[in-house]
Structure 1
């Protein structure tokens, strides 16, 4: 496998979180909560009232340098899985995807997996940023999310 293999374009981390899946999912599916746990320090703010409920929805966030992103929800199973493809307003998503998967272990513990997948990213100008989205960045988001969920 070379640098252009699909495997090199998918980064994923997992950990157990001492909180129920439904509560953790609320922190992810409500975009207004995302700035509190974003380990990429990329999301500055998101308007309230955008809680995701279905595939096909679009939620907006403002990123740290002031641009707005429209996030197109492409996978959704309430309390278990959500994935979105970010895009500039009014544009088609360029091909990268953020995914969260929750697997309840019991009522008070959940295995959470966070994935960044850029196998379909076609815009080469975006490759350096995609390459910089390493497992430590995803782990930072997952750890911040765990800290928020476990404090509740």
Structure 2
């Protein structure tokens, strides 16, 4: 039996500046526009993330509300958060975006890490976030950022 991969990551170069791409990620109200998993329904405006420890609230499809605590942050370059149901501890999974400016665009890396997830009842849902699912978000983000940068 092989060890299950609990860290999934995809990357691609996007023909847009890192700052413009980062704005689409760090403003939760923008996230449903590029969510390739069709998992995010809405987030109230005015929650733009600025530092580790910030929390934004997102409503997922199915009306599930999630608080998302920022655990990594470097303006314009890196952002990661751990979601949890309101008032409950984070179950242990993490979403990360890393941006590296390059000539002609930005290398965008998107990672879903569920290696810290301990509640086995959440494993089936976590397994749905495959490389293809993450790539769909990166591709939608790229399309949006490139169109807005043009």
Shorter chain as denominator, the TM-score bin is over 0.9
Write the distance in 2 (CA, Å) between the matches of 1:9 and 1:145.
23
User: Is residue 2:113 matched to residue 1:117?
Assistant: yes
What count of residue pairs does the alignment treat as equivalent? 148
Q: 1:116-135 counterparts in 2 under 5 A?
A: 116-135=112-131
RMSD: 1.0
Write the distance in 2 (CA, Å) between the matches of 1:2 and 1:34.
34
Q: Structure 1: which 5+ runs fail to align?
A: none
Write the distance in 2 (CA, Å) between the matches of 1:122 and 1:2.
19
Q: Structure 2: which 5+ runs fail to align?
A: none
Q: Per-residue displacement from partner, 1:25-77 (whole Å, max 9, x unpaired)?
A: 00000000000111111100000000000000110000000010000100000
Specify which of 77, 102, 113 is matched with residue 74 of structure 2: 77
Write the distance in 1 (CA, Å) between the matches of 2:2 and 2:98.
28
Report the counterpart of residue 2 of structure 1 in structure 2. Answer: 2
Write the distance in 2 (CA, Å) between the matches of 1:2 and 1:99.
25
Secondary structure of the residue aligned to 1:133 is coil
Could you list the runs of 4 or more consecutive aligned residues of structure 1 that deviate by over 3 angstroms after TM superposition?
A: none
